[in-house]
Amino acid sequence: MQKQLIQAIKAGPEPLDDELFLAIFEIEDTIEQQKFIEAARAKCREVKRLREFNNLLNVWKEKNAQNKRQQGSNKTKFTDGPLVLNCGDWIANDTGVYKNEINGRGIPYKITACPHPILPVERLVNIEDGIERVRLMFFKDKKWQSITVTNSTISNKQKIIELADRGVMVTSETAKNLVAYLQDVKSLNMADTEEGKAIPLYRSINRLGWVENDFVPYQEDIRYDGDKSYESLYGYVTQVGDREKWFALAKEVRKNLIVRLLLDASFASVLIERVGALPFVFHLWGTTSFGKTVSLMVAMSVWGNPEIGCLTRSMDATIVGLVRSAAFLYNLPYGADEMQQIKNKWMDHDTLIMKITEGQDRTRGTKDGVETLKRWRNCFIFTGEEPITSERSGGGAKNRVIEIEVEEQLYKSGFEVANTVRENYGWAGKEFVDNVREMSNDDLKNRYKVYMDLILNECDTTDKQALSMALILLADELSCKSIFSEEKPLSVDDIKPYLSSARKVDTSERAYSITSGWVTSNQNEFAIEELDGKCIMPNGKVHGKISNNKEFVDILKTDLQNFLQENGFSYDAVIGKWREKGYIDVFKNGKSQKPINTHNVSIGAIKKTSCVRLRLSSESTGKVNDWIEESEQTQLF
């Protein structure tokens, strides 16, 4: 056929036969195609029609390229490829992606886009930011690999070079061609055609948790498009093993109230956003080998793989890493073992508690501008060998923590429990979420408010403690309804022992308790007033003077300021509350007659030094309404 077409080329006014050029572009092998072209050129040279041939060849080349772009005549031919897509005039097979071109002199040459198979397999439109991303798959090192990138990355020859860091063989020489290939494939496969299916389009998100009334990862039409470093964490939220084995174990271990509350805290995490609550901390602490770590694994097995390093995290991380993991989990609980690891590492417990329960990170700058503000609405389940709060903790920190001490073994065989949840997990979380989805937010909020009001009416606690514990009780009720149907929901009486009293949470109350204890245990550093008004002076340092009836103590203002500061309290914040509660005497300034918190006292050789009069007797700590005139003060010596 080819020889016949060449022999048919003759001198004369008749145009060259279209069949000649159609035959040229039907040849896929570039070498054979070039041989045919050269043979035709030789014949045209003999009959003095070479220029005409070259001009027509260029026109046919452009027409052929247009036809391929319009018809998608070529298809990807990757062995075991994830999709078969139209690829225009590109040749995409196991040897890579390329196409044949002809230069201005009619000489064919090869344009390479990528030396190995690569194609877009999914279009992803992010639900939250609206940014479209593309999931690419490429075959390298004897396996198909996947990466997700923004459209802007594969549309720009400077940005597409970044794919080299992810394993794609792209260089500054081939970047422009790879951009062209990927854009051609995308444009040719935006919708289903007679030739084939379109590139699938999905909603996507870069975190776990609620998306309106859907929940990721349980929603099949929502894909993950986030940071590759969190893909493994995303994959840990799944169902594995035997559902009945997990439920049989859970029903048994829930007979222990502490373990039951821990499971309820895990369930409660996904209720926080639905009812408009704030993140909180559930901390289990006590002597080692009592089953705290196993209990944490049980709580995390609700959602997925509870193994240490999977959903159960370590506190051996940076604060930035912790915050980003919390933002990724979003509604799922953040479970971390061995809280003592952060001691003297990168922040104290109070600062950590306040930061994570705010529910959002600070704004951070990036090379491209400002990073999207990271938020989370979940609970944090921690374990450790000591309490996470102390007498020195601020009221804000204590308010946001439900803290339970483990004083005895929680399991007969912690080893058996741990092995069971390692092999069977993820079933309860999906079933719990499915039940929650059937309830309106208004219904959830109403039930939440019922529990909150009951706690505040029946317990001596604070609003924030009630908010957190009400979530746990609501989670217990819903889990009994949907999962543990043979169990009766917990009552307020069941959880009373685990709530901090309002007095214990109140910073001023704790500061008063600590200060009173300091005075009592260090009486040898205070002057003691006798009945005749004189003082028994200590041998060493002097912090103030205790009244003869032990009802009050005059403390040097500077010493009180230093003591409170050393114990983590603000003097200015505490002194105002003490004044409101009548824990200190209030005096009038001699000149202005304005109420002041200090008065001048002489103690031995210390003449007229500024002191705060702190009431020690419980009977004398009612609010003081009558000020003591400065002129009426007795100067003791």
Phi-psi region of 569 (alpha: psi -120 to 50; beta: other; left: phi over 0): beta
The tens digit of pLDDT for each residue in 491-522 reads 999 999 999 887 777 888 888 988 998 998 89
Nearest to 378 by CA among 464, 445, 281, 259: 281
What gap in Å lies between CA 579 and CA 573, rounded to an integer? 10
Report the pLDDT value the prediction gives residue 104, as an integer from 0 to 100. 66
Report the pLDDT value the prediction gives residue 346, as an integer from 0 to 100. 55
Report the pLDDT value the prediction gives residue 366, as an integer from 0 to 100. 54
Contact at 8 Å (CB) between 218 and 433? yes
Q: Is 314 exposed, middle or buried (0-12, 13-18, 19+ CB in 10 A)?
A: exposed
Report the pLDDT value the prediction gives residue 367, as an integer from 0 to 100. 55
Full 3-state SS string of 585-609: CCEECCCCCCEECCEEEEECCEEEE
Q: What percent of the chain has pLDDT over 70?
A: 90
Nearest to 269 by CA among 217, 329, 331: 331
Strand partners, 148: 135
- pLDDT exceeds cutoff 80 at 410: yes
The Cβ-side half-sphere exposure at 227, using a 13 Å CA radius, reads 10
What gap in Å lies between CA 477 and CA 489, rounded to an integer? 5
- pLDDT exceeds cutoff 90 at 14: no
Rg (C-alpha) for the chain, rounded Å, is 38
The tens digit of pLDDT for each residue in 526-560 reads 999 887 778 888 888 899 999 988 899 999 999 99
Residue with tokens 């001009």: 55
The C-alpha angle 78, 83, 86, rounded to 5 degrees, equals 80
What gap in Å lies between CA 146 and CA 137, rounded to an integer? 4
What gap in Å lies between CA 226 and CA 235, rounded to an integer? 13
Going along 226-379, which residue ranges are E strands? Answer: 281-286, 312-314, 334-337, 365-366, 369-370
Q: Which two tokens stand for residue 319?
A: 């604060």
The tens digit of pLDDT for each residue in 223-232 reads 999 888 898 9
Report the pLDDT value the prediction gives residue 29, as an integer from 0 to 100. 81
The tens digit of pLDDT for each residue in 447-461 reads 999 999 999 999 988
The tens digit of pLDDT for each residue in 53-86 reads 998 998 888 777 666 555 546 899 999 999 999 9
The tens digit of pLDDT for each residue in 253-307 reads 999 999 999 999 999 999 999 999 999 999 999 988 899 999 999 999 999 999 9
The tens digit of pLDDT for each residue in 555-575 reads 999 999 999 988 888 899 899
